[in-house]
Amino acid sequence: MGRWRDGTGTLSVLDDAGTAVPLEIAASYRARTRGLLGRDGIEGALLLTPASSVHTFRMRFAIDVAHLDRHLRVIAVRTMRPGRLGAIRPRARHVLEAEAGAMEAWGLRPGSRLAIAAGPAGQDLRT
């Protein structure tokens, strides 16, 4: 699949043709470290790549977390309150974060397949 770069795009849940979600991609160390810290919410989702676990220390809101394998298939989904340390998922290559309750509304569950479309200027988000 190549390496991802920081940017934006659209996330689609392939099992549900009607779901298209605005996406931010955090691929650099700096962007992954910042993540959702200091925010009061997010419209859409944030993809951390590469990543196999997350924490919610110093977060202001609860989040849904989905661990994805190298083919963007969902391994696990859970909701985390602020101040928690998530388990490491050895098969996970990416982590998707969104506001609590969003992933259920999108129909995202273990086994779901995801696709990511290029950013607004049509650039390829992988190098």
Burial class (CB in 10 A: 0-12, 13-18, 19+), 15: middle
The answer to whether 35 touches 46, Cβ cutoff 8 Å, is yes
The answer to whether 109 touches 73, Cβ cutoff 8 Å, is no
pTM across the whole model? 0.88
Contacts of 122 (CB under 8 A, 6+ apart): none
Residues 54-113 have pLDDT tens digits of 999 989 999 999 999 999 999 999 999 999 999 999 999 999 999 999 999 999 999 999
Position 125, amino acid: L
Taken in order 31, 37, 40, 43, the sign of the CA dihedral is: positive
